[in-house]
Structure 1
Amino acid sequence: MMKILLAEDEKYDREIVKHIIKENFSDKLQVYEAKNGREAIEMSESIRPDIVIMDIKMPGIDGIQALKEISASLPNVYSIILTAYDYFDFAKEAVKINVKEYLLKPFAKEEIIEKVSIGIQFVKKEQNKRKSEIEDKEKIYTLLPVLENQLSDLIINDKLIGVDYGMYLQCLNMNFINSYAMVISIKDKYDYEDACRSEKDQIKMKIGDYIKEYINRKYKCIGNYMFYEELTYFIQIENEDTEDFKNLGIDLAFNLRREIKKRFNVSIRAGLGEIYNSVEHIVESYRQATKCLVYNSDNVNIIHINDIDENMLEEKIINHNDANINLNDVKDNKIKNVNKIKLKLFDDVKNYIKENIKTELELEKVASNFGLSVYYFSRTFKEVTGTNFSDYINKCRIDIAKELLSNGEMNVKEVCYKVGYNDPNYFSKVFKKYEGISPVNYKV
């Protein structure tokens, strides 16, 4: 049943109009009354009327002002002006607030019935129109995941040639300007390791949906993770005011990895392709991203295609550390000089780790701080130190923890936080792994 609000300060006129409406539309309209403009505004906020009959001349807030307020929150309300004044005086203001009809006093019963009937038909038509629009949107939203999967399938399998994909781009609101592929694999550890096949599928779908929702908070993207082992996303970042798209992608993957570990207790690896400016070429970014995941390592979890060109990286590390070294000279005596530079660089890395031992020392962030790729950094770090990055960090933290515990000035919990662990139980577990004794017993 529709709602009609009758705002009239003259009780006699209000009663007449109310009686006529109830007598002729009792099965269609529920009638509400207001004695002035203020009451009309307040009542409209709670009942949200479909039709308003408003007297123009009322004490306090007049009818025009009241309709302005009501229309601001209810733009589709059907408004009828009720007045004894010449309508022309209010025509301009009435047009601004989308008034549909007017009744001049003294009014005839038939005129009220006619105007209200027109209002009911108008509201009914608008309701049907909105219902149809909502149904159409629902159909589109139901269809969008299908279109998304189809388009990403075409890209993954390099089958765009000969396909009219304009409809896909239009419906998905994508143009693939400044776009790249991110391919993610779930590592077989933590909660994922002990799950059965069906549980793993469920975990993968939840993670896939979460990643897509997370990316879409800032960028446009389409994803495909239902029928493939890896989770693939094509990410469009054309509105970013930067040329450093590589680091944008690495930062996004880094944040995703952290959030997924926190929410699902699952570890992921991500491969990132280069930026391209058309849907036709994005398949190359996909190939690059999948190529990145071939470089399998427990310590390298985020890999950009530019980071696996070893010749480029070697040149980069040389230039980064000794501007006076000429690359051509290095090639003549390559092993000796490069090893010298590696040792010098990773002495700086070790100092950096000690100075920042209280912080979250992620491999990707430390590598980025020294301008190196994670793949090169991880490989060379182990070559220079004889251990992988995570073990080295833990060993440093445990060595510092031993010193603090021996001093006796801090309890175990305080030491735990001082050396960069957030969980005292995990700290105890790591401490015992390296020292064969718990930190509590070590302190004693």
Structure 2
Amino acid sequence: MKILLADDEKYDRETVKHILKDNFSEELEVYEAKNGREAIELSESIRPDMVIIDIKMPGIDGIQALKEISATLPNLYSIILTAYDYFDFAQEAVKINVKEYLLKPFTKEEIVEKVSAGIRSVKKEQNKRKSEIEDKEKIYTLLPVLENQLSDLIINDKLKGIDYGMYLRCLNMNFVSSYAMVISIKDKYAYTDIGRNEKDEIKIKIGEYIKEYINRKYKCIGNYVFYEELTYFIQIENENISDFKNLKIDLAFNLRREIKKRFNVSVRAGLGETFDSVEQIVESYRQATKCLVYNSDNVNIIYIDDVNDKLLKDQYTINVKENKSRNTNKIKMKLFEDVKNYIRENIEEELELEKVANNFGLSVYYFSRTFKEVTGVNFSDYVNKCRIDIAKELLLSGEMNVKEVCYKVGYNDPNYFSKVFKKYEGVSPVNFKISIDKQYIT
């Protein structure tokens, strides 16, 4: 245990130090300061458990020094040492939580008594703190278990008859404005040619990353170890909005982008509706898993509204009527001309089907199906072709090199840009530029 002795009177300092070493050599390391400034500076480096400090010192006095030291050491056990038995000093001492005081001249017995009391108090505080840390460690060790248990109960619809209040209190969740997000990993990119064990390792890493990402802003519990899909129950009650759909889609979109960037893995996400209790979140989970059953290579973020049977039936009726109506067809053609213009104007951005459909207020399924009907190609092929056409224009102008053109048309990887360019044009962008330069020289 460290004790700091601060007194400008060398004789008093030596006397107290001698008493401390005679009586507490096994328990205390004694440090000295001859003024308030030294006491502050030394405290910052040694971080004492106790301090005996004289009130009346030149420069920074004992009270001011204690204020500074206590700001960073709130549990410091302090004893003031003074020949000034004044009421105003007593008032200041109370404000900074001074535990004891000694009046000069003091006796050996008084020093021993006060310091012994201090040692007992510090040890008690240390034991209390140790116990608190141990309790917290036990809780933190238990939390993942409780999280898995509660999410299992939701996933398997076994909440009835269970006293889940303890789970909610320990996990600090109330499931107000909450929903389920279920994520599946697509068998492509880095996830394709690896074994089962490696896939499990990547899945757990992705699962942990997603939970940490969501918890930056919202509360959530997750289950991604024992199931094929990665499941999260997300609580977003702190958002002051009535329609959570766009918020949920944006979160899933950002997660998908970050996972692709960080792990080179592609995922799909199903999103359930927002509910206000843990009992109702079971339905949100059902909806989210239902979303993932819908098979479409072009749709990676699926909200339950888009696959609701009634909405699909209504959408089908609308589409039949549209096919029979020339005027409606004109409206549809005009709408997708606007979509094509939007793609060209935002070619530098990351153009995902879900985001573009949402921008025009359309269901991803209606958008995907009608886009191909209008343009003759699917959305991703159209975007790539548009990027390459603009890239050719930029290369023809001669104002940019290949790398600059790559970034200008929305590709982050020059090698991938070259691969796509060659797929559509039969030559790499470098060779395309060389041929242009040769024609220009000729």
Q: TM-score normalised to the size of structure 1?
A: 0.93
- Displacement, 1:332? 9.4
Measure the CA separation in 2 of the matches of 1:334 and 1:380: 11
Summarize deviations over 1:163-219 as a string: whole Å, max 9, x none.
000000000000000000000000100001111100000000000000000000000
Match of 2:159? 160
In 1, distance between residues paired with 2:183 and 2:31? Answer: 59
Match of 1:394 among 379, 384, 402: 384
Q: Give deviations 1:57-85, integer Å, cap 9, x for gaps.
A: 11111111111111111000000011111
Of the structure 1 ranges 358-367 and 200-209, higher mean CA displacement relative to structure 2 is found in: 358-367
**Residue 426 (structure 1) shift:** 1.1
Q: Which moved more, 1:287-296 or 1:199-208?
A: 287-296
CA distance in 2, matches of 1:430, 1:47: 63
CA contact (8 A) 1:313 1:376 kept: no
Offset at residue 310 of structure 1 (A): 7.0
Quote the Cα distance in structure 1 between the aligned partners of 2:333 and 2:193: 40
Equivalent residue of 1:194, what SS?
coil
1:357 aligns with 2:347: yes
Contact 1:303 1:375 in 2 (8 A): no
Give the aligned partner of residue 289 of structure 2.
290
433-442 or 15-24, larger mean C-alpha shift? 433-442
Which residue number corresponds to residue 209 of structure 2?
Answer: 210
1:3 maps to amino acid? K
Q: CA deviation at 1:379?
A: 2.5
Distance, in Å, in 1 between the alignment partners of 2:309 and 2:346 is 28
1:138 maps to 2:128 = no
Is 2:241 the counterpart of 1:242? Answer: yes
Shift of 1:404: 2.9
1:419 aligns with 409
Give 5+ residue unaligned stretches, structure 2.
Answer: 436-442
Residue correspondence of structure 1 range 18-417 to structure 2 within 5 A: 18-86=17-85, 88-309=87-308, 312=311, 333-337=321-325, 338-417=328-407
Partner of 2:439: none
**Per-residue deviation, 1:333:** 4.5
Structure 1 residue 380, shift from structure 2 partner: 2.2
Aligned residues: 432
Is the deviation greater in 421-430 or in 6-15?
Answer: 421-430
Cα displacement (A) at 1:87? 5.4
Deviation string, structure 1 residues 366-413 (Cα, Å, up to 9, x no partner): 111101132332222223222211111011111222233334443322
Q: Which amino acid aligns with 1:421?
A: Y
Shift of 1:363: 1.6
Secondary structure of the 1:293 match is helix
- Supply the distance in 2 between the matched residues of 1:136 and 1:117 (Cα, whole angstroms): 29
> CA deviation digits over 1:320-364, x for unaligned, max 9?
xxxxxxx9xx79945323544332221211111122222221222
Please, which moves more after superposition, 290-299 or 142-151? 290-299
Could you tell me whether the CA contact under 8 Å between 1:178 and 1:276 is conserved in 2?
yes
More deviation, 144-153/362-371: 362-371
Shift, 1:241, TM fit: 1.5
Letter in 1 for 2:91: K
Q: Indicate which of 421, 428, 442 corresponds to 1:431.
A: 421
Q: State the alpha-carbon separation in 1 of the partners of residues 329 and 147 from structure 2.
A: 49
Q: Secondary structure at the match of 1:215?
A: helix
Secondary structure of 1:184's counterpart equals strand
Query: Quick one: distance in 1 between partners of 2:412 and 2:83?
Result: 76
Worse-superposed segment, 300-309 or 6-15? 300-309
Q: Tell me, in whole angstroms, the C-alpha distance in 2 between the residues paired with 1:310 and 1:160.
A: 27
Residue 150 of structure 1 aligns to a residue whose secondary structure is helix
Q: Distance in 2 between matches of 1:153 and 1:309?
A: 25
Per the alignment, residue 320 of structure 1 pairs with none
Partner Cα separation in structure 2 for residue 266 and residue 171 of structure 1: 33
Instruction: Give the Cα–Cα distance (whole angstroms) in 2 for the partners of residues 33 and 254 of structure 1.
Output: 61
Counterpart for residue 438 of structure 2 = none
For 1:273 and 1:289, the matched residues in 2 are separated by 4
1: distance between equivalents of 2:321 and 2:105? 107
Higher mean C-alpha displacement, 334-343 vs 7-16: 334-343
**Separation in structure 1 between the aligned mates of residue 148 and residue 377 of structure 2, nearest angstrom:** 43
Change (3 A) 1:332 1:247: closer
3-state SS, counterpart of residue 122 of structure 2:
helix
Q: What CA distance in whole angstroms lies between the structure 1 residues aligned with 2:136 and 2:182?
A: 30
CA distance in 2, matches of 1:113, 1:333: 97
Answer with 291-300 or 48-57: which moved more: 291-300
- What's the secondary structure of 2:233's corresponding residue? strand
Q: Secondary structure of the equivalent of 2:293?
A: coil
What is the rounded CA distance, in whole Å, between the counterparts of 1:309 and 1:153 in structure 2? 25
Distance 2:283 2:78 in 1: 58
Distance 1:267 1:249 in 2: 18
State how far apart, in whole Å, the 2-side matches of 1:167 and 1:270 are: 30
SS of residue paired to 1:86: coil
